[in-house]
Amino acid sequence: MKIIVIASLIAIAQVCSAQERSSFNITQQNGLPSNTVYDLFHDSRGFLWVATENGVARFNGTEFTSYDHKKVRSKAVSGLFEDKFGRIWCHNFYGEILFIENDTLRKLDSWESRYEEGFPTISNLGDSLLISTQRHIYSYDLLKKQWRLLDSKIANLPTLIRYHAVHDRETWVCATTGTQTFIKSLSTGGRALEMPKRNRSKSPTLFQLNYWKGKTRILNIVDNELYELRYDTIVDVSSAYRKQLAKSRSIKSLGDSILALYGNQGIELFFKNSWIELLNGKNVSAITSDREGGLWVSTLNEGLFFFPNLFTTIFSKTKYGLFTKLAFDSIHHRLFAGKYNGQVAVIDSSVIVKTIFTSNQKEIQSLYVDQESNQLLVFSDRLYFFDLTSFQKKGQVEIGAVKSIVKLKGFFYLATSGGVYLLNPSSNLTTRLPFDYRTSRMAFVPTTNELWIGTQKGVMIFSFETNKQTWWKPDSTSISPGVSAMELLPDNQLLIGTLTDGVYQLSGHRLLNKITKMKGLPSDHITALSYDQGKLWIGTDRGLCSYTLKDKTFFTLDAAKGLAGNEVYSLVASSMGLWVSHSEGLQYFKRLPGKNTSKPLIHLKQVTSDGKSINNFTREIRLQPFSRQLTITFDVSNDLKGRGTTMIRYRVKGLDLDRWNEVSLATPVANFLSIPSGNYTLEVVALNEDGVLSSNRLLIPVIAMAPFWETTWFIFFAALLLLTGISSILYFRLKRLSEINQAALVQQNLSQELRIAQLTSIRAQMNPHFVFNTLAHIQSQVLNGMKEAANQSIQDFSSLLRKVLDFSSKELIPLQDEIEVLQKYLSIEKDRFDGSLQYEIAVAESVRNEIVHIPSLLTQPFVENALRHGLMHRTGEKKLSIRFDLENDCLVILIRDNGIGRKASAEFNKARKKEHQSFALEAYSRRIDLLNASRDRKIELAINDHYNELGAATGTSVFITIPLEDEPARKK
């Protein structure tokens, strides 16, 4: 009998597995200087400071900024705190005192002569620092930079000082002699209190003082005992904390809401009137909280752990494996969680109380709780029936992969990979419905007496009244969507999750709403749906959110709110909380986190121009003449939860029509390639993961100094010199006018040669701004370390220049060569458009069958006009099409863009006072005249602007018609 009881207890211990609190581990792979962390501190600006074996670092929630000093004797640091001037202080393991000021690590050199063996204890005391060693205690005035020895205040105490602590500006000193330990308040000047003497300790006892809920607590680190200071009496309260003290060597209060006892066996956290175990078995060195409700824990060998939400727990995949399907028993308030190994976990009150085993280790593909017959239906390799009370197997049915189960009028309808089957539970016989498609989800709508069947190819409706099936489509022009999930609401509205189009909300056969990524979903690939109390929970391959059906609002549950994995497999939402199976395990949210109302702080981290740093950038950014490139790196504090999702919006007033730009904290860099000379203002704000605006707004002057030739004095003397030159030229021109008239006849004979020379000159020109911008883009790639992209850009640009130089000496070139130049040119421009440019060069089949020659570089200037003055200023999708066709023995070239039109472009350039002008129509007409001089049939040009029904410009078309009668030999 005794053996049976012991065996039962062992089995229960193996089955009853509790969840862990969900956390994120941050290690050296994420940029942490070392996985050995000694201390943590959350400063007044919202940054997290980390003291490690390899130095001190600042963390903004996304990246670490490390600090180093060449003359320190040890990189290992601890004892972090902040003084009233915003400086961060610490000491290294050699005993040197360090501080960070103006983003630079400095050493307190005047401490060297007072240093003793061992670590100093340092505290902030208003305008001073309090520093104690093993034999002395000092005060250091931060303003006067003066030292003061305070030993006289503790003259009646033994001279071996072990520790001091400051609470609410009251300073306590702990001192020992032999095996006796005393504590004394230096602030009140009261008598020294002797700590209770314990025979267990052979060495002087070390103590930590802690202030929590109005009481001073004293932790005996050696003997694991806890005391409270009540007036002039020290009371032993260890019995109330015996379990927690057994695993602890430190005590820390986080406000009045949390008390933490921690050590090499994890953390015992007193929170919401109960104790919580965190990081059981891990060697914890420090703990702190941030203003957003997050908890940060450091360890001595595993880096940092971040708990964004203490109300969520997880069965991690590393310990329990992955969970596939979930089902909820609303009567017994139990969750059934299927796994990849053929097992089903029975979870009650966040504890696995039972594991149901199928006869194989294949993935659980579907679960169904049949409360009417008190059965659980499970499919892995076959369909199993288990009793909901005893969890004993009652039977099984051989059938193909079952993805979804619906019960109607005592019968089970099974959506399988081979179609839909009707299962009679009394006989276990199956009947296949006349439906040949691979099915995944089903839902029965009682108001219409229809079974909705979801497949990867669309939605099928089976009517029980007509016994017919029809495909459902959102409208007459759409195709039926591929289905991944279905959910029927209490009012019989049907929600259909799709593979590519988000969620469809239907009433009857009518589409009421389409919920997509454009409206707020993390992704349009839906993986799971669950409805509870007016909220639809939507799982996707890239995250999870809830959608309130009444007011159509979204709430995103992501890593900032504690979600451990983005790829969601299954969902169960109920009054008991939210269960999510995802790529990191099975997670439970007992209470959902609210909106993060903590306002971030935006900072400028670094400003450079042409690769050189600019100092004092918080006051103004001054660009020297010839320095037009500007790179700004941002930083955000007080948003540790965002994990890189914090958005930074910036603009330079006076540039780009004051248009706002946006980057994330994961890539917090703004790059300006060419800033014209003038005075501007940089404006920057930040928004946290819930869209809360930063508490500060940066407004920094930007001064781009003009080169000397743009200054007033230079322009004046240049104008004077120009007038003198023009006068001289007019004089000599009038003098030689008669000579020119006499040479007119000779000039006429040479006119044909002049036309050819002029054509060659015009063909040799390429817009200087294109060359400058391309070189500037390559320079930006080099400055940002994009060596491979810069090398490719140089190759493309050099190839284009070779073609242009080659064609400049030719009057006619094959059409294919002209198209090749356009392709190389557009390839370069597309790279500078950051991929937003879409272009197409189409050649009609009739043209391909001809050997066609055209005047060289005829189309490139108009393509450049379309990019620079049509598409450059357009937001959204930018399209350019070029088509070559034959009509009436003529080559017809159509250049079409969806830009802002010529009128808006002219106004835009005028508003920006833009010096660069588009390719001049007069110059092109001149070239046409020169070309037409030797042609019987003339080249024609037409330019049309397009407008929509509201009168808004929708683009520009250029038509060039070239007769082919003077072409070289042509071949059909």
Residue 905 has a pLDDT of 79
User: With bands split at pLDDT 50, 70 and 90, how would you rate the model's confidence at 384?
Assistant: very high
Provide the pLDDT confidence category of residue 707 given band limits of 50, 70 and 90.
confident
Selected residue with higher pLDDT from 459 and 182: 459
pLDDT digits (tens, 9 = 90+) for 160-187: 555 667 666 677 777 777 667 778 777 7
- Two tokens, residue 969: 């030999």
- Which amino acid is residue 479, in one-letter code? I
Token duo for residue 968: 């070289």
Quick check: 432 pLDDT over 50? yes
For position 173, what pLDDT does the model report? Answer: 79
φ and ψ of 922, to 5 deg? -60, -40
Amino acid at 20: E
Could you tell me if 298 and 304 are in contact, meaning their C-beta atoms sit under 8 angstroms apart? yes
Residue 948 has pLDDT above 90, yes or no: no
Distance CA 588, CA 312 (A): 6
Residue with more model confidence, 766 or 813: 813
Q: What type of residue sits at position 596?
A: N
Note whether 660 and 741 are within 8 A (CB): no
How many whole angstroms from its chain centre is CA 106? 34
- Asked if 866 contacts 817 with a C-beta cutoff of 8 angstroms, the reply is no
14-36 pLDDT, tens digit each: 334 567 888 999 999 999 999 99
pLDDT tens for 652-690 read 998 888 899 999 999 999 999 888 888 999 999 999 988
Query: What pLDDT, on the 0 to 100 scale, is given for residue 6?
Result: 30
Supply the pLDDT for residue 773: 66
pLDDT digits 0-9 by tens, 914-925? 544 444 566 666
Which residue type sits at 783? L
In this predicted structure, what is the pLDDT of residue 317? 92
Least reliable range by pLDDT among 58-72, 395-409, 882-896, 937-951 = 937-951
**Are β-strands 698-704 and 621-623 bridged in parallel, bridged antiparallel, or unpaired?**
parallel
Residue 232's pLDDT is 80
The whole-number average pLDDT for the span 943-947 is 87
Highest mean pLDDT of the ranges 113-117, 555-559, 790-794, 909-913: 555-559
Element (H, E) at 354: strand 351-357
Distance between CA atoms of 771 and 674, rounded to whole angstroms?
A: 13
pLDDT at 89 over 90: yes
d(CA 571, CA 538): 8
Does the structure show a pLDDT above 80 at 767?
no
Q: How far apart are CA 201 and CA 194, in angstroms?
A: 16
Number of H helices, E strands in the chain: 14, 74
> CA nearest 665: which of 602, 745, 742, 731?
602
Name the range with the highest mean pLDDT among 15-29, 461-475, 491-505, 842-856: 491-505
Mean pLDDT throughout 432-445? Answer: 88
Cβ neighbours of residue 428 closer than 8 Å, sequence gap 6 or more: 395, 397
Q: What is the mean pLDDT of residues 237-245?
A: 89
Cβ atoms of residues 145 and 151 within 8 Å: no
Q: In this predicted structure, what is the pLDDT of residue 907?
A: 78
Q: According to the per-residue pLDDT averaged within each range, which of 178-182, 222-226, 486-490 is highest?
A: 486-490
The whole-number pLDDT of residue 757 equals: 45
Average pLDDT over residues 524-540: 95
Look at residue 560 and tell me whether its pLDDT is greater than 90. Answer: no
Question: What would the mean pLDDT of 276-301 be, rounded to a whole number?
Answer: 94
pLDDT for position 5: 30
Q: What is the mean pLDDT of residues 808-827?
A: 81
Mean pLDDT of 830-842: 81
Mean pLDDT of the chain: 84
Q: pLDDT above 90 covers what percent of the chain?
A: 45
